[in-house]
Amino acid sequence: MTTTPHLAFPPAPPAPAPAGRPGHRRKLVAGAVAALVLLLVAGIAAGWWLTREEDSSPFAGRPRVTDGAAGLSYAIPEGWEHEEGKKLIGAFTSSVTKEHAGTGTGSGASGEGGSTVLAGRAAAMPQAALQQQAERAARSNAVFFYPEGSSEVAESRPTTVGGRPAHTVALRVSEGKRGSAVPEGAGGTGHLRLTLIAVDDSRSAFLLGIAQPGGPVETREVDQVMESASLD
């Protein structure tokens, strides 16, 4: 009997919450981004470098991350940062991040938060298993980054990346319990998207995007970064 492989992540415990803000890990950059970008651990050498986008996409002309370990390339929008050579936890092999300078208006920004898109490599994945495994992995990451919160599926659909079958899942996530210093409605709802790609018969790859807060502008930008992906 053939068994369906599972994506083995989240691969490591998240970084601890900032002092004085119990349970509040999602200021991304101070929370999720810090866990993924600033945490130095022994990891996989990604072997990525910058190239240029040469099409009519929203990020045409922008630099790109080429992640040799995952076999993916994706855009770096204006205002986002890519730290080449930074070691990431577990299965993640590259990332781009952006801090949100909120003003308390619009999408509910409270002056803190951020967005991140990460890439990684996983085991071979049959096309028939893509939806199940993408949804499983998205829920797993929602629990990982929002341990006291909840999530609901906003979208789950088949797609393609570089002509290869893929499945993308978007979740609306909420933080749940808050510290006493965090006002109700201050960035409590986030956006999480995971796209799983069957690269070839020997491997799959994934992109994970998180925006906190997950307002229309932040959500759209994270989704566009992920949609800019191509196979390397």
pLDDT in tens, 122-169: 999 999 999 999 999 999 999 988 888 899 999 999 999 999 999 999
DSSP type of residue 30: S
pLDDT at 102 (0 to 100): 54
Q: Is the pLDDT of residue 222 over 50?
A: yes
Whether the per-residue pLDDT at 50 is higher than 60: the answer is no
Q: What is the pLDDT of residue 23?
A: 45
Chain CA centroid to CA 122, Å: 15
Torsion of CA 108, 101, 227, 89, to 10 degrees: -110
Q: What is the pLDDT of residue 182?
A: 38
Give pLDDT, residue 218: 94
Does residue 24 have a pLDDT over 50? Answer: no
Amino acid 178: pLDDT: 45
Average pLDDT along the chain: 74
> What is residue 139's predicted lDDT score, i.e. its pLDDT?
95
* Best CA proximity match to 209, nearest among 105, 69, 72: 72
Res. 47: pLDDT tops 70? no
In what order do the strands lie in the sheet containing 230-231? 48-52, 63-67, 72-75, 230-231
CA distances from 162 to 37, 64, 76, 133, 165 (A): 27, 16, 18, 20, 9
Q: Is the pLDDT score of 20 beyond 80?
A: no
- Tell me the one-letter amino acid at 58: P
DSSP label at 154? E
pLDDT tens string 90-113: 779 999 999 876 534 333 333 457
pLDDT of residue 130: 96
Given this model, what pLDDT does residue 151 score? 94
Determine if the pTM surpasses 0.85.
no
What local confidence, expressed as pLDDT, does residue 54 receive? 45
Q: Specify which of 43-52, 72-81, 142-151 reaches the highest per-range mean pLDDT.
A: 72-81
CB 27 within 8 A of CB 112: yes
Alpha-carbon Rg for the chain, nearest whole angstrom, is 17
Q: How far apart are the first and last CA of the chain?
A: 33
- pLDDT at res. 101: 67
